[in-house]
Amino acid sequence: MNVGSVKCDCTQCQLKNLFFSHVTLEELTDICEIKVERNYSKGEFIIKEGDKINEFLYLKEGLVKLSKSTVEGKDQIISFSKPFDFVSLLSVFSSDHYKYSVSAVADSTVCILDLNVVKNRAQNNAMFAMDLMKRVSEATDKIVLDNLEIKRKHLKGRIAHVLLYFSDYIFEKDEFELPISRREIAEYIGMTTENVIRTLSEFRKDKIIKIFGKDILIADKKRLINISEFG
Amino acid sequence: MNVGSVKCDCTQCQLKNLFFSHVTLEELTDICEIKVERNYSKGEFIIKEGDKINEFLYLKEGLVKLSKSTVEGKDQIISFSKPFDFVSLLSVFSSDHYKYSVSAVADSTVCILDLNVVKNRAQNNAMFAMDLMKRVSEATDKIVLDNLEIKRKHLKGRIAHVLLYFSDYIFEKDEFELPISRREIAEYIGMTTENVIRTLSEFRKDKIIKIFGKDILIADKKRLINISEFG
DNA sequence: AATGGGTTATGATAATTATCACTCTATAAT
DNA sequence: ATTATAGAGTGATAATTATCATAACCCATT
């Protein structure tokens, strides 16, 4: 992990418009003063389940996963987030300690604010509080909907769903490098690693996708969508 | 559905302390003026997926389920809520239209406020906005955690989980009347109705529970907990 | 160049869960 | 009273998914 010494210009920050649209320039400058950036390499933890919550984070660049480990020591992946999506977290406003872990799935940059400062802003600036609420609601809504979708599908449908998720939502390309391992896909969809691998192989044999290690090319999107929906 | 003409005294409302702790007495009186109560019988819809969101609701009494129907016309149950838990919804602050349905699982009373009034309050009273955010976060956190728990378990563990959920969380008793059908349990845990019935019968044969139709008595809680955890 | 660990891959078999078929209530509607 | 209708319950069989075993491969370390 790398604490950035770069003093960035928040007035130019893309996130500002989304996140701080009701913060005055003056407030923004204050926030900028206390803001810190940290860089994480793929695989590093950003937050560990059980950590005390005293910072407010958002993802500036990269890709992260939200996960939780079970009593048996296995991991369950709750969701993935890309920049703008990831406005701190579930449980930032409802708990003292994180209930989930967050780790970098790709090299990532996180902007960090003191949580009390953010809370104070929210308490003094109701429009900001509303914006925050909207963002948090959108994020949790997405998680709940996505989990429901996965839940109603069988193995093949779930794999198709994941491929489409990365293709359409994360990368917006039909060819991409899968940022996670087969095991992580399994942890996400609640199936075994072997079955994830087997299903990907099947899709390859059926010429629905091409596989070159981590690189995936979706060759027959129509069929993949169909499998995701009904298979 | 029954629109209540009862002009209730909000200053006496139990919910007030939880929900409106940062609202002044003056504001509370205003809110009370516009508040409406509605009664719903078991089985009735309170909100239908797709409805426009223009009210803010909370559950005063009863028990409700949050659900969504799939493309195949089947239902998936997302969660259950009892009074105090149920502060309007997922998606109230992130969308124009409800993404889920809410229906009464037991006879229920709902207090209704105009959403714009609530939003205005929140915009003018940041502490209220923070309270609201805390409540919404708590509710969604609970849903995400609960769904994760269910996801990692097998059929028997899921059934045990549901029984303990009603016993410990909803009714706080070891004997209770199951407010939902076997089919609804199936819709909640993502298994078939037949397997829900079969598993309940097994638990009965193994003397873990006693069943008298809808009435359930948990006879061997330790084992049930064990099954929920590891079975 | 060799070793070891983790990921990917595949097959055989076992376990779990779904589907279908049918019975038996209870209850609501006519 | 009689007939639908939905829920509860059970068994046989099929489909789906997990487990276990084994191998190939990549890549980092020695």
Residue A136: closest CA among B17, B135, B112: B135
Q: How far apart are CA B57 and CA A23, in angstroms?
A: 29
Looking at residues A48-55, what average pLDDT do you find? 94
**pLDDT > 90: percent of chain A:** 61
B189, with CB counted inside 10 A (0-12, 13-18, 19+), is buried
Looking at residue B128, what is its pLDDT? 83
Sign of CA dihedral B170, B176, B181, B186: positive
**CA closest to C20 C1', residue:** B194
Query: Among the listed ranges A99-103, B77-81, B83-87, B146-150, which one has the minimum average pLDDT value?
Result: B83-87
Do B138 and A76 count as a contact with CB atoms less than 8 A apart?
no
Between CA A62 and C1' C2 the distance (Å) reads: 37
User: Chains A and B: how many Cβ contacts under 8 Å?
Assistant: 110
Q: What is the pLDDT of residues A93-104, one digit of tens each?
A: 889 999 999 999
pLDDT at B118 exceeding the cut of 90 = no
CA of B6, closest CA in chain A: separation in Å? 32
Average model confidence (pLDDT) across chain A: 89
Q: How many Cβ atoms sit within 10 Å of the Cβ of residue A158?
A: 26
Classify residue B1 by its DSSP letter: -
Q: What is the pLDDT of residues B171-210, one digit of tens each?
A: 999 999 999 999 999 999 999 999 999 999 999 999 999 9
Between CA A59 and C1' C17 the distance (Å) reads: 40
Looking at residue B149, what is its pLDDT? 97
Q: How far apart are CA B183 and CA B192, in angstroms?
A: 8
Question: Tokens 């109230």 map to which residue?
Answer: B92
Interface test with A, best of B133, B152, B225, B228 (most A CBs within 10 A): B133
Three-state secondary-structure class, residue B43: coil
Do B190 and A99 count as a contact with CB atoms less than 8 A apart?
no
A25 at B interface, C-beta within 8 A: no
Among A71, A126, A230, select the one facing B229 at the smallest CB separation.
A71
**pLDDT > 70: percent of chain B:** 91
Q: How far apart are CA A223 and CA B8, in angstroms?
A: 57
Identify the residue with better confidence: A134 or B16: A134
Q: How many Cβ atoms sit within 10 Å of the Cβ of residue B143?
A: 21
A197 at B interface, C-beta within 8 A: no
Looking at residue B5, what is its pLDDT? 42
CA of A84, closest CA in chain B: separation in Å? 15
Average model confidence (pLDDT) across chain B: 89
Q: How far apart are CA B196 and CA A143, in angstroms?
A: 26
Residue A202: closest CA among A180, A169, A227: A227
Give the phi and the psi of residue A181 in degrees, each rounded to 5: -80, 170
Under the banding of pLDDT at 50, 70 and 90, the label for residue A127 is: confident
pLDDT at A74 exceeding the cut of 90 = yes
Residue B109: closest CA among B75, B148, B64: B64
Give residues 34 to 93 of B whose Cβ lies within 8 Å of A: 68, 70-71, 74, 76, 78, 90-93
**Residue B190: CB less than 7 A from any atom in strand C:** yes
pLDDT at A81 exceeding the cut of 90 = yes
What 3 state SS string does chain A have?
CEEECCCCCHHHCHHHHHHCCCCCHHHHHHHHHHCEEEEECCCCEEECCCCECCEEEEEEEEEEEEEEECCCCCEEEEEEECCCCCECCCCCCCCCECCCEEEEEEEEEEEEEEHHHHHHHHHHCHHHHHHHHHHHHHHHHHHHHHHHHHHCCCHHHHHHHHHHHHHHHHHCCCEEECCCCHHHHHHHHCCCHHHHHHHHHHHHHCCCEEEECCEEEECCHHHHHHHHHHC
Under the banding of pLDDT at 50, 70 and 90, the label for residue B132 is: confident
Looking at residue B47, what is its pLDDT? 94
Among B91, B130, B229, select the one facing A122 at the smallest CB separation.
B130
Under the banding of pLDDT at 50, 70 and 90, the label for residue A76 is: very high
Looking at residue A5, what is its pLDDT? 43
- Strands, DSSP E only, in chain B? 2-4, 36-40, 45-47, 55-69, 75-81, 101-114, 175-177, 209-212, 215-218
A146 close to A170: Cβ distance less than 8 angstroms? no
Three-state secondary-structure class, residue B220: coil
Among B78, B136, B152, select the one facing A70 at the smallest CB separation.
B152
B32 close to B10: Cβ distance less than 8 angstroms? yes
Q: Which residues contact B129 (CB under 8 A, 6 or more apart)?
A: A122, A126, A129, A130, A133, B122, B123
Q: What is the pLDDT of residues A149-170, one digit of tens each?
A: 999 999 999 999 999 999 999 9
Q: How many Cβ atoms sit within 10 Å of the Cβ of residue B70?
A: 14
Q: How many Cβ atoms sit within 10 Å of the Cβ of residue B8?
A: 13
Looking at residue B86, what is its pLDDT? 76
Per CB-CB distance under 8 Å, the chain A contacts of B136 are 133, 136-137
Query: Among the listed ranges A140-144, A207-211, B17-21, which one has the minimum average pLDDT value?
Result: B17-21
B122 at A interface, C-beta within 8 A: yes
Query: Among the listed ranges A28-37, A173-182, B39-48, B66-75, which one has the minimum average pLDDT value?
Result: A28-37
Looking at residue A134, what is its pLDDT? 86
What's the one-letter identity of residue B127? M
Looking at residues B19-25, what average pLDDT do you find? 71
Question: Tokens 């907990």 map to which residue?
Answer: B225
**CA closest to C10 C1', residue:** A198
Q: What is the pLDDT of residues A185-223, one digit of tens each?
A: 999 999 999 999 999 999 999 999 999 989 999 999 999
**Residue B18: CB less than 7 A from any atom in strand C:** no
Chain C positions within 7 A of any protein Cβ atom are 7-12, 16-21
Distance of CA B51 to CAs B46, B48, B67, B99, B123, Å? 10, 6, 14, 8, 24
CA of A36, closest CA in chain B: separation in Å? 24
Under the banding of pLDDT at 50, 70 and 90, the label for residue B38 is: very high
Q: How far apart are CA B108 and CA B64, in angstroms?
A: 8
Looking at residues B47-75, what average pLDDT do you find? 93
Chain D positions within 7 A of any protein Cβ atom are 7-12, 16-21
Closest nucleotide over all strands to A183 (CA to C1'): C7
B170, with CB counted inside 10 A (0-12, 13-18, 19+), is middle
pLDDT at A3 exceeding the cut of 60 = no
With b for 16 or more beta-carbon neighbours within 10 A and e for fewer, the A125-135 pattern comes to bbbbbbbbbeb
